[in-house]
Amino acid sequence: MNPDNRQTNRHSRRHFIQTALVGCLALWASHAAAQTTTTSISGNAMQLTQAWDKTFQKSDKVDHQKVTFKNRYGITLAADLYIPKDRGSQPLAALAVGGPFGAVKEQSSGLYAQTMAERGFVTLAFDASYTGESGGEPRNVASPDINTEDFMAAVDYLGLHPSVDRERIGVIGICGWGGMALSAVAVDKRVKAVVVSTMYDMTRVMSKGYNDSVTPEQRAKTLEQLSRQRWADAEKGTPAYQPPYNDLKGGEAQFLVDYHDYYRTPRGYHPRAVNSGNSWSQTTPLSFMNMPILAYIAEISPRPVLLIHGEKAHSRYFSETAFAAAAEPKELMIIPGANHTDLYDKVDVIPFDKITDFFNTNLE
C-alpha cells in the first residue's frame, strides 16, 4: 500500500473515532416541497414536515401520521406512526424503532417501521433528542442516557395509543441505536422482545476506538482536548461542531466509503441527518466515553434478544460481544456477504421474514 494512503487511512479512522462520526444509515429519494405544521415546544415553534420526504417509497398498505410526544426530560420528540390499513378492531402488537446513529426517521428506521407495519404491527420511528425534527437545544448532540430514555418514551407513547396492546410491545434498534435499544430494554420491563440490526456499542467505540485499539494515553489526550473545549464553548455561549462528513478524498477505509455511499448519495441522503453533511458537537463523545451502556444486558432475560449482523461488516464484533454478554433466550443471525450498511436499506438483504416471525412468536 502506498505510504500516503496508509497515513490517510490512519488519519481517517482516528478522526472518525474522535469525532464520533459513526453513522448508520438509510434513504432520501426526493427533496419534496416542505409542507409543515407547527407545534409549540416550551414556547418555541417546532416545524414538522408533512410532505413525504422519506428515502423510501410510501406504502399503500399502511396509514401514516406525524406525531409528537415528550420524554422524561421534557424534550419533545417527533415521530412517524405507521398503522396497518387492514387492522381489524383488536389492538395490535407494536414496535418502537430507532437508528442509525446520526440518521433521521426518514431513513433506515422509517423503512423498518413501514415494512413491519405492512406485516401487521403498529410501528413508531422517531428522531432522537436534539436531532432531526425533535426538540432540544443545542442541536446535534447525543447522550447515552437521554437517547436510551428516548426509546422508553416511545414505549410510553405506544402504550397509550388506542390501536396498541400495551402488553405486546417490542423494540428495533439499528446501528448505534442497537446499543441504545439493548440499554433501554434492560431497564424497561414493559418491552417483551428486542431486535438489533448491524449494532454499534457507541460507548465502546467512542471510549476505546475500533477493535478497542485506543491506548490509555490516546484516551487521556482526547479527554484533555474535549474537557478544554468545554471552556471554549462556555465562553462563546454556543458549542463548537465537528467538521461535516465531506466527500471522499481517496484512501479512506472501506467502511467510510460504505457510509459515504449511504449518507452522501441519493441512496440515503437526507438534509436533516447529522451524517448527511452536518455534524455532531465536538463534546458529544464525553458522556459516551464514561458510561458503558451494555453492562446490564443480561437482565433483558427472560425476554428474547435477536441480533442481526452482516458477515463482512466492520462492526460485527459489537454484536458478537453483546451476544456473549446477553442471557438466554438469545440468537445471533449473521447475513452472508453483507456489510454494515447493507442492513440499513437493502430490503433483499434485511431478514424481514425472520424479524416478523421473531416478534409474532414473542409478542403473542
Domain boundaries, the chain: 3-362
C-alpha cell at 298: 443480561
- The amino acid occupying position 101 is F
Q: Give Cα separations from 330 to 159, 180, 191, 316, 334 (angstroms).
A: 25, 17, 15, 16, 13
Taking a C-beta distance cutoff of 8 angstroms, is the pair 82, 112 a contact?
A: no
The confidence score (pLDDT) of residue 47 equals 78
Is 241 strand, coil or helix?
A: strand
Closest CA to 95 of 193, 209, 7: 193
Please, is 69 exposed, middle or buried when counting C-beta atoms within 10 Å of its C-beta (0-12, 13-18, 19+)?
buried
> Cα(310)–Cα(343) distance, rounded to whole angstroms?
7
Closest CA to 158 of 146, 147, 170: 170
C-alpha cell at 88: 381489524
pLDDT tens track, the chain, 364 positions: 444 444 444 444 444 444 333 333 332 223 333 344 544 343 345 779 999 999 999 999 999 999 999 999 999 999 999 999 998 899 999 999 999 999 999 999 999 999 999 999 999 999 999 999 999 999 999 999 999 999 999 999 999 999 999 999 999 999 999 999 999 999 999 999 999 999 999 999 999 999 999 999 999 999 999 999 999 999 999 999 998 866 688 899 999 999 999 999 999 999 999 999 999 999 999 999 999 999 999 999 999 999 999 999 999 999 999 999 999 999 999 999 999 999 999 999 999 999 999 999 999 9
> Cα(71)–Cα(77) distance, rounded to whole angstroms?
7
The confidence score (pLDDT) of residue 171 equals 99
The confidence score (pLDDT) of residue 248 equals 82
Rg (CA), the chain: 19
CATH 3.40.50.1820, domain 3-362, yes or no: yes
DSSP-assigned beta bridge partners for residue 66: 80
> Cα(142)–Cα(177) distance, rounded to whole angstroms?
11
